[in-house]
Amino acid sequence: MNLDPALLEIIVCPDCHGDLAVTGEELVCQACGLAYPVRDDIPVLLVDEARRPG
């Protein structure tokens, strides 16, 4: 995964506005735990596409 570090500093979880951290091939919210996929180096920040913690 190749994401711009500046982008990672400004994007937040669309559900709770928590900080996102890179975990494998996903961006995981540090507040609510939702895991957002990254496809072709583009974060898919749609709550419907997120994997629920579990």
- pLDDT tens by residue, 41-53: 999 999 999 999 8
pLDDT band at 54 (very low <50, low <70, confident <90, very high): confident
Bridging pattern class, strands 42-43 and 35-39:
antiparallel
Task: Output the CA angle 22-32-21, nearest 5 degrees.
Answer: 10
Per-residue pLDDT tens over the stretch 7-39: 999 999 999 999 999 999 999 999 999 999 999
Identify the three-state secondary structure at position 24.
Answer: coil
d(CA 51, CA 2): 21
The pTM for the full model equals 0.91
Give residue 49's pLDDT.
96
**pLDDT score, position 17:** 98
Q: How many CB atoms lie within 10 A of CB 20?
A: 22
